[in-house]
Amino acid sequence: MQSPTVVIGKIRTGRNPRKYFDPVKMAELTESARVEGIIQPILIRPVEEDEHGHEFEVVAGERRYRAAKAAHGVDFPMPVNIKELTDAEADRLALIENVQRADMAPSEEAVSASQIVGQLKGDRDEAARLLGWSRSTLDKRLALMNCSQSVLEALNERKIQLGHAELLATLAKDKQDKLLPVIISEKKPIAELKKTIEAAACSLETAIFDKTDCTSCPHNSSLQTEMFGEAIASGNCTNRACYETKLDAKLQGIAYGLKDEYPIIRIMRAGDNHTRIQLKVDGPTGVGEEQAKACHACQNFGAAVSGLPDSMGKVYSGQCFDTVCNQQKVAARLKAERDAAKAPATKPAPGGKSAAATKGEKSSAAAEKVVTAISESDKVKNYRTDVWRKALRKEVVQNAELANAYLISIALNGLARNIGGDKMGKIFEKLTEQKASSSLQGCLTAVHALDTGKRQQLTVALTVAAIDGMEVSNLRELCRYHKLDLRNHWNLQKSQDFLEMLTKSETKVLADELGIRKVLGDGFAKLFNKSKPEVIAGLLAVDGFDYTGKVPKVLGC
């Protein structure tokens, strides 16, 4: 079956991770395309037509695309496979296709691999599987992301070997650039280089942990290495394992100190370059004001603690760790703004705004579809389930007829198994002031001796016990049927435990959602500059704010 074709003039190049195209090999491929044509189709995807008339974008096969264009011009019918792909999907396919080629430079492999890791939210095992690499190979490639530009150029030009670059990547970039000329001029073998480089990486001068114990440690060396003279600063730790243990403990401590601030805190290592992006409101990478507020409650929003030599221990706040989602939000905002700009100017609409402006605002709102609410973390889900059970129990015990109807429905649906004997025993003891018998005969005798009122109370108790034992999905269904209204049961001022389980960034979103930000005005920012306990105390005592009936969306059923 013959592949479909698209004239080259309608196709543009994509975001190819490969930057270097060997001129000799490209010349050979171009000549082959001139004589033989293009046999294997390239992979393209439809895109929004640009000012040059391009309607498609190359995903895989740019070398063939370039060769065909050079040999036959823009009117050549290019054999293609067309596939609908998002930006992230197209990037991933392009990266994998290029990385799996044998002639790709290690530095290009490193960039490509780090981008894939970013798209997978830092999952290195999955990235290694997609690339067909071992985890060890992936980690070594990612380590190259900490190489200075001069080291990468030397590697690409084969002036140093891959092993040299991997060792140099453990140092700060300024030290890499000092050592590189020495390595090249003296042609130092990797084996000879390894010991000195590893020692140099353990610099006590730049260490961020407490070095009190290091001053008298026998592993604290002030000797200059013969190999590099003044190139490496003195004062290194020769016990690498101890050094790295202290360093890791310090980084973990910094991360732990931020746990009340953000839902997620990550220590960034070499190769994690594309696993995070700074959350911005405006500009080419901005998600928009409303979306940015919502992002503060996302479980992928947080802070990064650098574990890299040049910025060890530095904290980067306001980071998004779902770069694919971030790109989608940015694209939605930019598209909404373009649509608003294209809208024709017309007569003012009611309220003084032009129809074009109104249309633009609607487009922006439709594109963003922002839901500003606390995200459903496991701890929030558990809290919410407890709130549902407590509220539903309270309403059911006040209506014996309704409780009986629910009990029959629960039994008909096979959910009576959720009624725990221990739970009923405790309720029986509380209502009758006698312990339930361990035998059926004893239970029959005890219940038969009760008056009608007590037996009716125990029937209601069966429903309560069933509610307590229900799986969450069935509980939600019952709450929705019951039309449970938590405004009668939940109040922020009596729910400090709920605020304590949230981070400050999530609490900020809650304050937005409930309208507290608006009441606080300029005091909002001042409040959130304080510690978490002070923030909670402040949110529970806002002058002029009516807490009645204010329930977060995340608690709804």
Residues with catalytic roles: 62
Q: Which two tokens stand for residue 192?
A: 């000879």
User: Which residues are within 8 A (CB) of 50 and not within 5 positions of it... i.e. 6 or more apart?
Assistant: 12
User: Which residues are within 8 A (CB) of 135 and not within 5 positions of it... i.e. 6 or more apart?
Assistant: 124, 125, 128
DSSP H helical ranges for 296-397: 323-342, 355-368, 378-396
Q: Is 556 helix (H, G, I), strand (E, B) or coil?
A: coil
Nearest-angstrom CA–CA distance, 363 and 377: 31
| Phi, psi torsion values for 78, nearest 5 degrees | -85, 125
Q: Which two tokens stand for residue 140?
A: 């070594």
Q: Which two tokens stand for residue 409?
A: 């429905």
In DSSP notation, 251-280 reads HHHHHHTTTTT-SEEEEE-TT-TTS-EE-B
Q: Is 301 helix (H, G, I), strand (E, B) or coil?
A: strand
Q: Is 445 helix (H, G, I), strand (E, B) or coil?
A: helix
HEC profile of 386-428:
HHHHHHHHHHHCCCHHHHHHHHHHHHHCCCHHHCCHHHHHHHH
Q: How far apart are the first and last CA of the chain?
A: 53
User: Which residues are within 8 A (CB) of 551 and not within 5 positions of it... i.e. 6 or more apart?
Assistant: 486, 487, 490
